[in-house]
Amino acid sequence: MFKAYKLTGASFLFCVFIIGALVLRFYAVTDVNRRRVSVWWTSVMCRIGGRFLGVRVNTDTACETDGRGRLMVCNHMSYLDILVLSSVRPSVFISSVEMENTFFLGFLAKIGGTFFVERRNVRNIKGELDGITKIISQGFNVVLFPEGTSTDGSKILPFRSSFLAGASEAGVDVVPVCLRYSKINGESFSPENCDYVCWYGDMSFAPHFSRFASLHRTDVDVSFMEGMNSLEHDRKYITRRAQELIEAVYFTAS
Model confidence at 65, pLDDT cuts 50, 70, 90, reads: low
Residues 218-233: what's their mean pLDDT?
Answer: 92
Residues 225-252: what's their mean pLDDT?
Answer: 92
Residue 164: the pLDDT is 85
User: Burial of 114 by CB count in 10 Å (0-12 exposed, 13-18 middle, 19+ buried)?
Assistant: buried
Query: Which CATH number is 185's domain given?
Result: 3.40.1130
Among the listed residues 153, 177, 162, 199, the one whose alpha carbon sits nearest the alpha carbon of residue 243: 177
Bridge-partner residues for 126, per DSSP? none
Q: Which residues contact 254 (CB under 8 A, 6 or more apart)?
A: 180, 189
Residues 214-224: what's their mean pLDDT?
Answer: 97
Q: Is the pLDDT of residue 116 over 80?
A: yes
Residue 141: the pLDDT is 94
Instruction: Provide the number of structural domains found in the chain.
Output: 1
Q: Is the pLDDT of residue 147 over 70?
A: yes
Residue 98: the pLDDT is 86
CA distance 228 to 28: 34
> What single-letter DSSP state applies at residue 229?
E
% the chain with pLDDT above 90:
73
Query: pTM for the full model?
Result: 0.93
At 173-210, the pLDDT tens digits run: 999 999 999 999 999 999 999 999 999 999 999 999 99
Domain interval for residue 239: 2-253
CA distance 14 to 48: 11
Residues 9-28: what's their mean pLDDT?
Answer: 95
Residue 167: the pLDDT is 83
CA distance 96 to 28: 25
Bridge-partner residues for 117, per DSSP? 96
Give the 3-state secondary structure percentages of the chain, helix then strand then coil, rounded to 5: 50, 15, 35
**Range name among 30-39, 122-131, 242-251 with the lowest pLDDT average:** 122-131
The chain-wide mean pLDDT, for the chain, equals 91
Q: Count Cα atoms within 13 angstroms, Cβ side, for 131.
A: 18
